[in-house]
Chains A and B, each alone.
Chain A
Amino acid sequence: MTSPVIEARNIVKSFGGVRAVDDVSVSVMPGEIHAVIGENGAGKSTLMRILAGVETPDSGSVRIDGKEIENSAKASIDAGISLVHQELSLIPEMTVAENIMLGAFPTNGGWTKTKEMKKIAADTLKEIGVEVDLDERISRLSVALRQFVEIARAVARKPKVLILDEPTATLTPAETDYLLSMLQRLASQGLAIIYISHRIPEVFKICNKVTILRDGKLVTNDSIGDLTPDKVIDQMVGRELHLDLTQRRPAREFGELVLSAKGIKAPKVNGIDLEVSKGQIVGLGGLVGAGRTELLRAIIGADPRSAGRVTITSNGKKRVITGYLSAIKAGVAYVPEERRTDGLALTMTVAENIFLPNRKEVSPTGVMPKGKIAAFAKDLSEKVNLRPPEVTREAGQYSGGNQQKIVIAKWLGRKPSFIVLDEPTRGVDVGAKAEIHKLVKELADEGAAVLVISSDLPELLELSDLIHVVRDGKIAGTLTGAEATEKSVMSLAAGEKLVGA
């Protein structure tokens, strides 16, 4: 019998009063793909950061091939542990090659060997099947590409243990499938992989073993064969959760037209017309890079458009949208894709973050009574199931998924007339996802117009009354919520080439 490559024993880590990781032990064999799952804030990322030596545990040890390793980033890397972080951790102004080799530039007595560096980077990219210009700066790449560069960095180190913290959160289904098969291939070569995801089907597709965490404690450590998706979800949330993700919105009548966008042109957007009515949820499907985010931003004036006319009608008043401020005035709430950087002030408290766009609603006079702000924030954070619901904590102290919930809460608090959501549940756990879906549907039922981008097909199908599939900056096809299927959306998104593939 082989012995585990990596073994974490009795890891404990607290932040202030919160036990983020509470006496957890995990071990992974070579060639094994080991899923670590749990709700937002369960302690998954914290445990992984401890394995990677970038967080110091209060107690417990990490062993590689039976030998205990020191707790430092360098010791972990040297021992063969590579972590792909949940947040992108690349250097924006460095090139793709430099980022892939970051911290591991090949040297000759202190001098970097640029040619060799580029060669290793190129080989790694080839190995994982991604083609990017090695000299391009990261700041000029899309979010999905950055994710692949990050994976390339982890693979370039020739690790024994590869840890991926929600790598598919930013990827589309096709890219996800690609990544999953890549991981299976790496595992078959003997690599031990620890895989974190909120997408249960992925776990059942590639993982051999599953560790489930709840509130920092280990609740299950089982072979995949002994589990079912329902069992996994129940263990994660610690109660029975009845989810029906296949439910569609019944056909209905919509109110007056809220958004009218005609002939929108912008970088990556090649002339798109779009309409959303009161009470209607319009979904935008498509591949990453198809131009959906660009389209949204151009519509609401967050990015310049080179042509096109946008009007938004709210409270009986029709306004031409010339810039982001006029969109806000017209009652638009925009939840951006890059929430960590665009949507949150990490050093401010949850209450302050939620208060920011709702100043008028909470305090029409301009004075800011702390109690009132806290109560307002508390109410909203309960709506999105923020955990723990302590609105006086700094936003930066929350887990990735909980940060998403804060951003959602802060925008939905204003009862906006037009809601624009870009990947609203990326990185959010199953329970909270259901809550957010419910919230969005309720807002639509109350009369809001909703425009939502989602690369999560079941989500897109569940939410949308109408789905536009975007490809190459154009609308490739339009499906009603009732007639759309995962397959029909995918084949429109990919174009003829991939149909049936």
Chain B
Amino acid sequence: MTNQTVIKVGSTATGFWGKFRSVLARRTEGRAVVLFAIIATFVTVSQPLVFTAYQVTLGRIALIGLVALGLTAVILMGELDLSVASTLAVSGVIAVTVANQTNMAIGVLAALAAGVVVSLINAFFVAIVGINSFIATLGMLFALRGMAFVISDEAPVKLQNTDLGIAFGQPLLGPLTPRILIFFLIFIAIQIFVSRVKAGREFLAVGGNRQAAYDAGIPVKRRIFTGFIISGVVAAIAGIINAVERTSADPTSGSTVLLASFAAAIIGGNYLKGGKGSIIGTLIGAASLGMLQVALTISGVQIPIQEIFIGGILLIAVITDPSSLRAVWGSLSTTFQGIKNSLAK
């Protein structure tokens, strides 16, 4: 055949800046990076302690970010998992209760298994029965919270092996505590999964256009199961870490984590309807929030006031979505043209 080209498009960008701009336009983390930079600058100027005490800051980021990382896997597919908050509580309670009767390893395994079972039930309702994930996991959120209370007898369960708990709070590698290490390992694992492994790369397709993904032969239901398992297991890990570090599992824990996790994911540029976003974005979102929280805490700002700050940032993140900004700018400029023209008349 003639190798004639009918259509030609794509980046006509040349030179370093041109390429840079076109790469930037393709990423979803843009505003997360900008927000991060703004917060970092603000913090450097007003509370440099945040960086000096980076161990504390990293710990805070890991606390907020861990559950958010798992959650992002589900959000990429356009689903929600509200049950993570209770999964965290239940798995903590199970880990400590079982560990007290046997040993820590079995306790951890039992808690992880609980995380998997919860995910399977969630995914079953969402992928097989076809219930909206908000509703299915909201039900799960309540059911598991109740279960955590039943298992713990409505009071925090003390970890008998307090040595382990204390050791767990200490730096393991350089200045890094096990929590921070686990956080980074999980980040790397999920990031590799969604960017390098076939099943993970297909998450974005399931979220972007589910029918098209199915038509292309992607096992959509299996992907949804995988996503929920990731978020459930990561939430369980977070629950275990919390319980061991505090040498006590509180059945009420996790309620603030839910909101912070969603905030981190959204600030990170993840689109709640799915099909748009990234794990790196969530990391940046969590880092921004963590830094801000530590800075505010050091400055003596009360927790409720901190939450107002987070809410504000969340709104800014959503409003400054490039497409909404473009829309606002566009209508402003058209209106302006119109006014100018009417005056000229």
In the complex, are the beta carbons of A130 and B276 less than 8 A apart? no
Chain B residues with a Cβ closer than 8 Å to the other chain, count: 47
Task: Check if A92 is an interface residue, CB within 8 A of chain B.
Answer: yes
A135 to B23, CA, bound (A): 9
Given contacts A54-B214, A103-B218, A110-B199, contact A323 B331 (CB under 8 A): yes
Selected from A90, A102, A129, A145, the residue in CB contact (under 8 A) with B9 is A145
Task: Check if A77 is an interface residue, CB within 8 A of chain B.
Answer: yes
Contacting residues, chain B, for A73 (C-beta < 8 A): 214-217
Selected from A89, A98, A136, A145, the residue in CB contact (under 8 A) with B7 is A145
In the complex, are the beta carbons of A112 and B197 less than 8 A apart? yes
In the complex, are the beta carbons of B11 and A182 less than 8 A apart? no
Given contacts A74-B217, A133-B11, contact A182 B1 (CB under 8 A): yes
Smallest beta-carbon distance B231→chain A, Å: 20
Contacting residues, chain A, for B208 (C-beta < 8 A): 91-94
Contacting residues, chain B, for A178 (C-beta < 8 A): 4, 6
- The contact size tier of chain A is 35 or more
Contacting residues, chain A, for B52 (C-beta < 8 A): none
A140 to B323, CA, bound (A): 12
Of A58-66, A299-307, A348-356, the one contacting chain B is A299-307
In the complex, are the beta carbons of A93 and B276 less than 8 A apart? yes
In the complex, are the beta carbons of B334 and A289 less than 8 A apart? no
Interface residues of A in 129-149 (CB under 8 A from B): 129-133, 135-137, 140-142, 144-145, 148
In the complex, are the beta carbons of B218 and A111 less than 8 A apart? no
Smallest beta-carbon distance A290→chain B, Å: 12
Contacting residues, chain A, for B302 (C-beta < 8 A): none
Contacting residues, chain A, for B296 (C-beta < 8 A): none
A246 to B39, CA, bound (A): 67
Contacting residues, chain B, for A130 (C-beta < 8 A): 5-7
Selected from B5, B7, B205, B275, the residue in CB contact (under 8 A) with A289 is B7
Which among A83, A103, A175, A320 has the highest number of chain B CB atoms within 10 Å? A103
Task: Check if B212 is an interface residue, CB within 8 A of chain A.
Answer: yes
In the complex, are the beta carbons of A129 and B1 less than 8 A apart? yes
Task: Check if A249 is an interface residue, CB within 8 A of chain B.
Answer: no
Contacts A/B (CB < 8 Å), 16 sampled: A54-B214, A77-B216, A83-B215, A93-B275, A94-B204, A95-B26, A103-B213, A107-B198, A129-B6, A141-B9, A174-B6, A178-B6, A304-B329, A304-B334, A306-B333, A309-B341
Known: A91-B204, A98-B205, A131-B10. 20 other contacts (CB 8 A): A73-B216, A74-B219, A83-B215, A91-B208, A91-B209, A91-B212, A91-B213, A92-B209, A98-B201, A102-B202, A102-B218, A129-B1, A131-B5, A136-B9, A140-B25, A174-B6, A178-B4, A306-B337, A322-B335, A322-B339
